[in-house]
Structure 1
C-alpha cells in the first residue's frame, strides 16, 4: 500500500498492467482451447512472459480463473439485479439461470472449478462470485416467496446444481435435456 493514500493500493506500473492483460488474454485463449486444466506454463508462454511473472500476478490457477471470469460475473450480477423488477419472478429466475448456464459452459472444466471454489468461502472464485451470489439469492428468494420454487431448496443448492450439469462448450450450454429437467424439478 502507498503510505500517502491509506487504504488504497498503488497503481500498477505500465509494464505490470500490460503483463496482467496479456496473461488474461492468454488464459482465456488457452482455457477455451484446452480447458481449465491446461498447463499454466502455456498461458505464460502465449502471454510472452516468464512463469515468475505469471505467479506474481496470479499465485494459483484459481486466481487466474477468477480474473478471467470477472466480466461474466459482473454481467450475471447486473442482470440478476435488473431482473428483480421483472413482472414474472419465475421467468426472471429462468432467464438468469439460462444466462448463468451459458457462461458456465464457456470453458471445459469451468463448472468443476466454480463448484469447488463456491464451496470454499475463502477461495478466489468464491470471493469473486460473492456479489453475483447475493443478487441471485435475492432473485431466487423472490421466486420462492411467490410460491414458484420448492420450499426445501436453497439458492446455493440450485446454483451448485446448475454448475454441476454436464456442459457442451461447443454449443455454449448444458447438454440437453438436463437444464430443462432441473427447472421442472425445482417447481413445488
Structure 2
C-alpha cells in the first residue's frame, strides 16, 4: 500500500473507532465517511463492507487479548490468569456497544470477516480455562464456547444503564461460579484460625 493510501486507511480507521465508540457497531457508514472528510465511495473502496471495517478496527484488540492470554499462561496462577483475561476481555467488549452480537454471529459463520479473529480469541480463553480446570480450580462442565458466551453476557450487562453500576459485582459472581475451587481456597485463607 502506498504511503498516502496507508495514511487515508489509518485516518478512516481512527475516525471509525471514534464514531463506533460513540454510537455502537451499527453506526452509519455515511456518518463515518462524512466525519472523515471523504465520500462514502472512498470509505467503501478501503472497506467494502461494515464487517471488513470492523475486522480492521478490532483486529489489533483481538491480537492484544490473544497475546495477553499467552503471557498469562506463563506468568500467573491458572485461576488468576483466567480472571484477569476475562476481566480485560469484558472491559474491551463494552468499549464498542453491540460488538458481542457481531462476535457471536461471526464465530458461527466461517464466511464472516470476523470469524478467524473470534475463533482465535475463543481458543485463547479456552486454553486459560483448560489450565485452570487441570489445576482443579475451575469447574469442568464448561468449555471455551461457554466462556465466550459468558463474556458476551457480562458485556451485555455493562451495556444496560440500569445494570451498569452492578457490573463489577456481577462479574465477581460469574467469576466465582467459574472458579468455585479458587473461591473456596481464598475463603479458607481468609478464615481466622480456630480458637482451642
- TM-score if structure 2 supplies the norm length? 0.80
Q: Is the aligned partner of 1:175 residue 2:167?
A: yes
Match of 2:134 among 135, 141, 145: 145
The match for 1:88 is 77
1:82, distance to aligned residue in structure 2 (A): 0.6
1:136, distance to aligned residue in structure 2 (A): 2.3
RMSD: 2.3
Aligned length: 176
Match of 2:144 among 147, 150, 155: 155
| SS of structure 1 residue aligned to 2:120 | helix
Moved beyond 4 Å, runs of 4+ = none
Q: Is the aligned partner of 1:121 residue 2:115?
A: no
- TM-score if structure 1 supplies the norm length? 0.83
1:31, distance to aligned residue in structure 2 (A): 0.7
Deviates more, 1:157-166 or 1:28-37: 157-166
The match for 1:32 is 21
The match for 1:9 is none
Question: For residues 127 and 169 of structure 1, do their structure 2 counterparts lie closer, same or farther at Cα, with a shift above 3 Å needed?
Answer: farther
CA deviation profile, 1:100-149 (whole Å, cap 9, x unmatched): 11111112212222222223233112222343333322212111111222
Kept in 1, the 8 Å contact 2:103–2:118? The answer is no
For residues 165 and 40 of structure 2, the distance between their equivalents in structure 1, rounded to whole angstroms, comes to 33
Quick check: which one's helix share is greater? 2
Which ranges in structure 2 are unaligned for 5 or more consecutive residues?
A: 181-196
Question: For residues 174 and 69 of structure 1, do their structure 2 counterparts lie closer, same or farther at Cα, with a shift above 3 Å needed?
Answer: farther
For residues 169 and 81 of structure 1, the distance between their equivalents in structure 2, rounded to whole angstroms, comes to 31
1:174, distance to aligned residue in structure 2 (A): 8.0
The match for 2:33 is 44
For residues 24 and 91 of structure 1, the distance between their equivalents in structure 2, rounded to whole angstroms, comes to 34
1:169, distance to aligned residue in structure 2 (A): 9.2
Match of 1:184 among 176, 181, 195: 176
Kept in 2, the 8 Å contact 1:108–1:169? The answer is no
Which ranges in structure 1 are unaligned for 5 or more consecutive residues?
A: 1-11
